[in-house]
Structure 1
Amino acid sequence: YRVSTGENNSTPVGNFKIINKIIDPVWYTEKAIVPAESPDNVLGSRWMGFNLPGYGIHGTTSPEKIGQQATKGCVRMLNAEVEELYKIIPAGTEVTIVD
């Protein structure tokens, strides 16, 4: 899968576990609560959260940015691909991020 990672290498490296999975996630920012159906919701169609609060694997509303350092630290995927992964990755799965 092609992904986007964090701007300025802000995606943390290490071993993590997926602790929650959400279909059509709401995005909570410091300034707003962005509904799932909003084009401003950067999380796209799926969220798989790590045991590091605020970080995880998610979809996108900006598919043109896949392959770039474009997130605040999460791993971003195309919605169709994150939906495929979501189906086969259970909560508790270990994820290793390397530089």
Structure 2
Amino acid sequence: MLNYRIVVYPARRLLELYDGTQRIGYYPIAVGKRSTPTPPGQYTIATKVVNPGGAFGSRWLGLSIPFYGIHGTNNPSSIGQAVSKGCIRMHNHDVENLFRLVEIGTPVTIDP
């Protein structure tokens, strides 16, 4: 039985994937800029969309807080930066891997 959860560390520009207490993956990310920070808190994956279009890259994992998600990017040079409107950006190949593994309802913790 898989017990996946995601932990996002905006200050470290890092997303970690856990199965229970075992870290099974980690990925570099981009986060919200100072004027539109990534909101800390406890959420879940609420939606999954393949090829959402535009700046969202190849995958969208919508969070249970409206208008925020984990998604790919058409600007890979932004990864590692605080440049988004609050969403969590990943390289497309990384978000595609994450998308395959997690289900709707997967817990997501965004560290303050």
Report the alpha carbon displacement of residue 70 of structure 1 after superposing the two structures with TM: 1.0
Match of 2:69 in 1: 56
TM-score normalized by the length of structure 2: 0.74
3-state SS in 2 of match to 1:3: strand
Equivalent residue letter for 2:60: W
Among candidates 42, 56, 74, match of residue 55 of structure 2? 42
4+ residue stretches of structure 1 with deviation over 2 A? Answer: none
Match of 2:42 in 1: 15
Match of 1:94 in 2: 107
Superposed CA offset, 1:11-69 (max 9, x none) = 000000101000001xxxxxxxxxx2xxxx11000000011110010000000010000
Give the percent of matched residue pairs that are identical in Structure 1 and Structure 2.
Answer: 45
Among candidates 63, 73, 83, match of residue 70 of structure 1? 83
The number of residues matched between the two structures is 85
Match of 2:5 in 1: none
Match of 2:31 in 1: 5
5+ unaligned residues in a row in structure 2: which ranges? 1-26
Equivalent residue letter for 2:29: V
Distance in 1 of aligned mates of 2:33 and 2:55:
14
Distance in 2 of aligned mates of 1:70 and 1:82:
18
Q: Alpha carbon RMSD of aligned pairs, Å?
A: 0.8
Equivalent residue letter for 2:49: I
TM-score normalized by the length of structure 1: 0.83
